[in-house]
Structure formats: C-alpha cells, structure tokens
C-alpha cells in the first residue's frame, strides 16, 4: 500500500494529531458549488469522507432540524450521546442495537 496525502487538507508536522473537522473542506466545497449553481445547498452536496466511504453504511450525516433520514435516527429511541449528563449536547449521536 502506498501512503498518500489528501490534497484538500493541509499537512501537519510529525506528532500533531488532527481532531475531526467533519471534513470542513468538503463543506466549503459544497457551499461553493451550490452558490455557483445559484441554488441552496442540498444534503448530497456535503457528506464527510468517512460517511461516504464506509463500506457497512454504518454512519449517517445530515441536518438534524429537517425531515431527513439522519434526523429520524437521531430522534429515535435507539439514539444516545456520550456524557449526556454534562449537558454539552454533542453532535455525534450513536444508535444502540435496539
């Protein structure tokens, strides 16, 4: 396997671990494409790389405040977040086996 770098993401020095940015560069790209085509952004304009490439389709990403598949999952009885008692309202929501 040949190691490669993502041309859309700036490189960090050795020893620096990058926190997940929800692929912010993809958000910018999706916004620019929608603006170029003079329309509002659609959910399909912006999907994080890991969501798009997950072979098990185990991850969903989208607008929690709209009528989307991700919102339905997020508001289901199976949904939970880590450290809910802290009240931080994290944006990563997990689904238990149900």
Binding site for ligand SF4 (CB under 6 A): 20-23, 48-50
Q: Is residue 80 within 8 Å of 94, Cβ to Cβ?
A: yes
Determine the Cα angle at 86 with ends 84 and 88, to 5°. Answer: 80
Closer by beta carbon to ligand SF4, 23 or else 74 = 23
In whole angstroms, the minimum distance from the beta carbon of 38 to ligand SF4 comes to 27
In whole angstroms, the minimum distance from the beta carbon of 49 to ligand SF4 comes to 4
Closer by beta carbon to ligand SF4, 22 or else 60 = 22
Residue with the two structure tokens 């009240």: 87
Q: How far, in Å, are 6, 14, 22, 29 from residue 3 at the CA level?
A: 10, 15, 22, 24
In whole angstroms, the minimum distance from the beta carbon of 61 to ligand SF4 comes to 8
């Amino acid at each position: 396997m040949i190691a490669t770098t993502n041309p859309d993401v700036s490189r960090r020095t050795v020893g620096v671990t990058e926190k997940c940015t929800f692929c912010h560069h993809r958000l910018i790209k999706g916004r620019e494409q929608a603006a170029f085509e003079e329309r509002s952004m659609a959910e399909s304009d912006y999907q994080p790389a890991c969501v798009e490439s997950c072979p098990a389709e185990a991850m969903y990403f989208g607008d929690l405040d709209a009528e989307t598949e991700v919102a339905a999952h997020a508001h289901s009885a199976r949904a939970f977040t880590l450290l809910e008692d802290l009240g931080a309202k994290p944006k990563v929501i997990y689904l238990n086996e149900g």
